Amino acid sequence: MSRKQQLLKRHRRNKRLGLLLGLVVLLGLGIFVQWWLPLVLLPLLWVAHEAWFADHLFYSPGEDYQYRFPEGCQAQPVKLIEGVVQAQAPLQLAGDETLILQLRLKSGWLGRFLDPAVLLGDDCQTFERGVAGVRYLNLTGQAQALAAGRLRLRGRFCRPAADGQLWVVPGSDLRQQRVMVIAPHADDAELAAFGLYSQATETWVVTLTAGEIEAEHYQQMGLEKAEAARLKGRLRAWDSIAVPRWAGVPEAHCVQLGYFCLQLPAMQAAPDQAIGSREAEMADTRLFRQFNPFVLPGDTDGAPTWNNLLADLRELLLKARPQVLVMPHPTLDPHPDHICAQAAVLEALQGLAWQPQTLLGYANHLHDNDRWPMGDSGTGVALPPQLEAGQGWLPYSLTLDLPTQRDKAMALGMMHDLQPPAPFKRRMRRLLQRWLAGRRASPYGENEFFRKAVRRHELFWRRDL
């Protein structure tokens, strides 16, 4: 069981215990106070839960985030003077740096019911309700105002400390290089890196799985479970080839490997064994590879094995010769297919004649906070929660202008997996949060990823080889 599954299991157990205790209290009120009191309180408690306590937050908002920046990053003390961020020494910026402000935040009482945020210049970055600890704000894109001493900062439902530390992470514009994005599923490349890959000198998008499972939406059309899974897989395979064309990626650079969703861990455990689909009743990847522009080693037998996956990746790496390789982060992203995707790439690179210059990691999911990036569409992306300073990768942030954000939103809108309507309970929860907690819906679509991914920043973690 993964760490995230353990956290969810513990969260649900505690929720059930809390519900049981609440029912006992309500029953006591009905017996010893007034019989009608539980009937009034029960719906009010449910509304309060959905509005303010339904987030999956598996740590205390009073904990400090822990980041250790590698050597080469410049640390600069700053002060907040009359609402302006003032560096204590002149800043020498080339313009391509990632700028991270380490600052302690303290939530006000309203910040326990409304999302606390920091307004910095023309950006807004949102944090956990009840925040009381060190956080890392993303100032990338605001270098000019910061260097000129004109960057204003103020808290909304929270109070920023007067003293902080600016981390200047040196970088280069990776959009000027050949980029290959590794996507475990169709839409992962767009969620994490549309801004990067749409502007790169040359881009390849490689999708590892067909993403065919959980096809209940297609079963509602009258299809049997296996037939619905196959249809969903074919649609997502098409998405993985067609949607990057919206960003100008040539069809010849879009590849779908057609392995089966959530089966990569089993493939990795038994590299020679063919691991079929959980739901589509098939064990041949070639149905989902029919749109590929060329033949790959795995096409010989269509066997869904780890060894075939490695052979496919090696062939593509040698063909594309990417300078920048973008893939899921090895520790931040807990999805099993994402963990195995980066492991497969690293294994495929061992002993290979071509080696990339830079690895970029991304996180489309988190262990500890399902709402990250917090806040609304179009706003900035602060560093995610990390409670142990274990990772030494450099943060690398790209700023997206509004037209690029809109193009990214349209790319996500073309993805079939983000189109079905949300369940009724989730829609009701969002409505209550909008009315009572001040949260806004994304203007681009109903799926939560429109809010989480269409932002001012794309955030990666960088390692140069």
Residues 308, 377: Cα–Cα separation, whole Å: 39
State the angle between helix axes of 336-349 and 306-320 in degrees (0 to 180), rounded to the nearest 10: 60
Per-residue pLDDT, 465: 86
Residues 110, 436: Cα–Cα separation, whole Å: 12
State the angle between helix axes of 37-52 and 424-437 in degrees (0 to 180), rounded to the nearest 10: 90
3-class SS string, the chain: CCHHHHHHHHHHHHHHHHHHHHHHHHHHHHHHCCCCHHHHHHHHHHHHHHHHCCCCECCCCCCCCCCCCCCCCEEEEEEEECCEEEECCCCCCCCCCEEEEEEEEEECCHHHCCCCEEEECCEEEECCCCCEEEEEEECCCCHHHHHCCCCEEEEECEEEEEEEEEEEECCCCHHHCEEEEEECCCCHHHHHHHHHHHHCCEEEEEEEECCCCCCHHHHCCCCCHHHHHHHHHHHHHHHHHHHHHHHCCCHHHEEEEEECCCCHHHHHHCCCCCCCCCCCCCCCHHHHHCCCCCCCHHHCCCCCCHHHHHHHHHHHHHHHCCCEEEEECCCCCCCHHHHHHHHHHHHHHCCCCCCCCEEEEECCCCCCECCCCCCCCCCCCCCCCCCCCCCCCEEEEEECCHHHHHHHHHHHHHCHHHCCCCCHHHHHHHHHHHHHHCCCCCCCCCCHHHHHHCCCEEEEEEEEC
Is pTM, for the whole model, over 0.85?
Answer: yes
- Where exactly are the structural domains of the chain? 3-52, 74-169, 174-464
- The CATH superfamily holding the domain 174-464 is LmbE-like (3.40.50.10320)
Greatest distance between any 2 Cα atoms in the chain: 78
Along the 465 residues of the chain, how does pLDDT read in single tens digits? 555 566 656 656 766 676 667 666 656 656 666 766 667 677 888 888 889 988 988 899 999 999 999 888 889 999 999 999 999 888 888 778 999 999 999 999 999 999 999 999 999 999 999 999 999 999 999 999 998 999 999 999 999 999 999 999 988 899 999 999 999 999 999 999 999 999 999 999 999 999 999 999 999 999 999 999 999 999 999 999 999 999 999 999 999 999 999 999 999 999 999 999 999 999 999 999 999 999 999 999 999 999 999 999 999 999 999 999 999 998 899 999 999 999 999 999 999 999 999 999 999 999 889 999 999 999 999 999 998 877 678 999 999 999 999 999 999 999 999 999 999 999 999 999 999 999 999 999 999 999 999 999 999 999 998
Per-residue pLDDT, 319: 98
Pairing of strands 117-120, 123-126: antiparallel
